Structure 1
Amino acid sequence: MNAELHIRAGAAAEGPYSLSVDPEKAGWDHSSLRVLRLPPGGDHTLDTGDSEWIVLPLSGGCRVRTEDGATFELAGRASVFSGVTDFAYVPRDARARITSAEGGRFALTGARCERRLPARYGPAEEVPVELRGTGICSRQVNNFAAAAPAGGGPGGGLECDRLIAVEVLTPGGNWSSYPPHKHDEQCPGEESRLEEIYYFEIAPAHGSEGFGYHRVSPSGHGRGTDVLAEVRDGDAVLIPDGWHGPSIAAPGHDMYYLNVMAGPGETREWLIRDHPDHGWVRSTWAGRPVDPRLPFYDAPAGDAR
């Protein structure tokens, strides 16, 4: 097991960040994730450097103001299990001040990039909400900064240069990131090479802390990543390569994870290969019902699902 790829809650804290992962710490080239905690009335300055960033509220709301004068008021949400959130995009080579009157937690998803796109606001009502899989493989995907997969399908997230990011919500007892899949080779039209971070939040129930399991197995490429982790609230798993999935939510405890991806391809796209031993499961989904507990919530008016 590559133990350093399972980051337990608090193990990668740095300054105001309860989690801080950048390319240098991960040993790769593009993907970053920080989780910022602000007290009531708190503020933080983000210097973007050579990366583009999205400020995504996990709980609470905030104001994002860039040095160029753009200001975005993010209403946010009570928790990742309560609703789709609005968000703000901040380009590379910029500085932004994040302030929160009531306090909260904010994911900063980042990717090294070349183009400097304009700062923008992402309304919650424009986030495509997808229900993926059926039965115990059912999950909800909030495609706020998605790239369209091969053959079309839900995409439509905010335009970025390199960054791809989505939220996945899995009802307790279900399997997601299944069938296992990979994106560790650059094969035009077939597979993208993308470094990926999973950041987990687990819903408590009946006064008990929740948990889940996450698997990454070697694909024959890269580092030979091999992880079987019991994940808890605030944990993260780094995936430089390998077949990843399933992510399994313990019965009674709903699971959330934030996926952050970026890679070297000339085109920003999410192209995956299913594991040859398990990909057949997709063919069993047609005509079968989605878990009736889904969706956890829709986007506000204008749901694009």
Structure 2
Amino acid sequence: MAQPRIFKAGEWDTITPELAGWTYVSFSVKQFAAGETIVIAADDQERSFTPLSGIVTAIVDGEEIVFGGRASVFDGLGYTLYVPRDTEVTITSADGAEVAIASALATTKHAVRLVTPDDLGVEARGGGNATRQVATPIPPGFPADRLLVVEVWTPGGNWSSFPPHKHEHDHDGEAELEETYYYRLRDPEKGWAVQRAYSPERDFDLVETVRDGDICVLPWSYHTTVAAHGHDLYYLNVLAGPAPERTLQAFQDPALAPLQNEWPELGLDARVPFIPRYPETSAASELD
């Protein structure tokens, strides 16, 4: 039976439905050597490609798309290329790059689309020491089938994904969604955070330290994350599920949800937003 679980960096290569014990979401991070090319065949998966660092070139349906450019996830908002099902894509990096590749089982085909930092809001969310910065390259309103992608930056010492919430049941106010959390730390050697995933109904409680390159799979459970003091945290969320409508609706833990009522009085952490819209070097070609 699928259950929340953390895979440590170096112990996982690709999160597949078989590994996670679910149906829709797959996730990997590809390290491109200079000049390296990969070809992903057309199949029943829709995909997103988010450079974590470096610049890549994609060829999709004969169109060349150059995108990316940040030196790391802490140097700028990201570019994300969406590629629908039944579509082959070739990805090359001239100088080397690191690319997060997410996919979800899809039944309908949509258009190829490049999301640039111009398309993303510089959004501060939460309040007090639960303030974080959020960008959503593939939100519910995006023309895709099931795939949803969110980038989140949390300053050291702050809580994120708070109040704790879950995407477990498909009903009014909540959607059934599989979800991954892929973590990066500004200091990859010393940085750390803590992930909690819990379910009183299932008598389940996971509290674990996470470090750079770890990933958490969440088929169910309330969940929340806190960055250690002095260690800025990034995570990339990928979600997909059987819900008939594209939505990120979540059900908050009733015991903790009222705490957000204090946020207007507390105000936003002055450090947020702390990720700029543009890195020093970036590249993107427009789709016709």
Aligned to 1:31: 25
Counterpart secondary structure, 2:191:
coil
- 1:104-253 maps to which residues of 2 (within 5 A)? 104-147=97-140, 158-187=142-171, 189-204=172-187, 208-220=189-201, 226-245=205-224, 247-253=225-231
Which amino acid in the other structure matches residue 75 of structure 2? S
Select which of 58, 62, 65 maps to 2:59: 65
Structure 1, 135-144 or 116-125: larger mean CA deviation: 116-125
Contact 2:183 2:235 in 1 (8 A): yes
Counterpart secondary structure, 1:193:
coil
Instruction: Write the deviation string for residues 148-196 of structure 1: whole angstroms up to 9, x where unpaired.
Output: xxxxxxxx5x432101110010000111111111110011x31100000
Select which of 246, 252, 255 maps to 2:233: 255
Select which of 250, 254, 267 maps to 1:272: 250
Which amino acid in the other structure matches residue 8 of structure 1? K
TM-score by length of 2: 0.91
Which amino acid in the other structure matches residue 50 of structure 1? D
Contact 1:180 1:278 in 2 (8 A): yes
Which amino acid in the other structure matches residue 81 of structure 1? F
Distance 2:275 2:195 in 1: 24
Contact 1:225 1:240 in 2 (8 A): no
2:92 counterpart of 1:99: yes
Counterpart secondary structure, 2:271:
coil
Select which of 277, 281, 288 maps to 1:299: 277
Q: Number of residues paired by the alignment?
A: 277
Structure 1, 85-94 or 55-64: larger mean CA deviation: 85-94
Aligned to 1:12: 12
Distance 2:152 2:230 in 1: 17
Contact 1:130 1:143 in 2 (8 A): no
Counterpart secondary structure, 1:284:
helix
Aligned-pair Cα RMSD in Å: 1.8
Distance 1:278 1:88 in 2: 36
Q: 1:50 to 1:171 in 2, by over 3 A?
A: same
What stretches of structure 1 of length at least 5 have no aligned partner?
14-19, 148-155, 301-305
Distance 1:128 1:4 in 2: 30
Contact 2:56 2:94 in 1 (8 A): yes
Which amino acid in the other structure matches residue 123 of structure 2? E
Distance 1:192 1:128 in 2: 24
1 or 2 for the larger relative contact order (CA 8 Å, sep ≥6)?
Answer: 2
Distance 1:295 1:42 in 2: 34
- For residue 226 of structure 1, report the CA deviation from its aligned partner: 3.3
Which amino acid in the other structure matches residue 115 of structure 2? G
2:77 counterpart of 1:88: no
Q: 1:103 to 1:191 in 2, by over 3 A?
A: same
Counterpart secondary structure, 2:201:
coil
Contact 2:7 2:215 in 1 (8 A): yes
Runs of 4 or more, structure 1, over 4 Å off, are none
Aligned to 1:75: 68
Distance 2:165 2:33 in 1: 39
- For residue 72 of structure 1, report the CA deviation from its aligned partner: 1.1
Contact 2:185 2:233 in 1 (8 A): yes
- For residue 225 of structure 1, report the CA deviation from its aligned partner: 5.1
Counterpart secondary structure, 2:255:
coil
TM-score by length of 1: 0.86
